[in-house]
Amino acid sequence: MTFNQPQQLKTIADIIDAKYIGAEDFPVLGTNEIHMVKAGEIVFVNHPKYYDKALNSAATIILIDKEVECPVGKALLVSDDPFRDFNKINTHFTRISNFKEELHDLEVGDGTFIHPSVVIGNDVKIGKNCHIFPNVVIGDRTIIGDNVIIQANTVLGGDAFYYRKLNRNFDRLISVGNVIIENNVEIGNGCTIDRGVTDPTIIGEGSILDNQIQIGHDTIIGKRCLIASQTGIAGCCIIEDEVTIWGQVGMASGVRVESGTVLLAKSGVNRNLKKGTYFGPIAEEFRDYLRKEVKIKNLK
């Protein structure tokens, strides 16, 4: 999430009542989670296992639960509960309405048809010549380009599936990102595309999604991708341009799939993939999979 205007380190520290290490006017441009963080942004860390990853990330402000040596050129915010205070910062700068308030500020382009049963949140922009079918739900801050088709019962901008376990319960990381649907995208019936925790979830220009597809938070789908039904893609994935994903593919969080790749039906993706054709519960090159199956068959 990028703040509307740059903030100072002391201002953020005051919001969460935390100690800060660094110049009080150290610039803070926004927040982000560890997979997506950029220079000028805050990232949080609340476990020693991930201290090095956070401290050595692109983040220049680290919200941390222990006072440690501050890397050169960076600043620290020391909190007894970074997860809680990350939520506090995000909701301080982003209004969370969850359809309880109708503030709207809706923009709709010429030639767009929106069925009367569609529910639209606040600060939504919809481009020209779109067709939005019955019972679609469009969450706050969603941006939809031109010539987009969204079929019935699809939800854009639901909460991210991002929790921690606390006192035997689950505590949600509040989503303040959004969804961006670029031009000439078609989305089938009953799809769910979660908004980013702090950044956009993006469906790239010209991509086509079949029915009943789940796209997790902060995932980026490239241009002209083709995704078949019942595919589930976790958060923070990057699917490059012109990737074909067939039915019931499952993808773990944070993986990257190179342009032009084909994932055959029911493949499971648990790592980054170079361009190729893949198949199997732990996706492997299709030819390698076939050779292995032949060897196993010949053992019988």
Q: Which residues are catalytic?
A: 217
CA dihedral (157, 162, 165, 171) positive or negative: negative
Give the list of residues 6+ apart from residue 72 with CB closer than 8 angstroms, or none.
none
Q: Which residues of 257-273 are buried (b: 16+ CB within 10 A; e: fewer)?
A: bbeebbbbebbbbeeeb
54-84 CB burial, b ≥16 within 10 A, e <16:
bbebebbbbbbbeebeeeeebbbbbbebbbb
Which of 148, 224, 223 has its CA nearest to residue 191?
Answer: 148
User: Distance between CA 222 and CA 207 in Å, rounded?
Assistant: 7
Structure tokens at 86: 């990350």
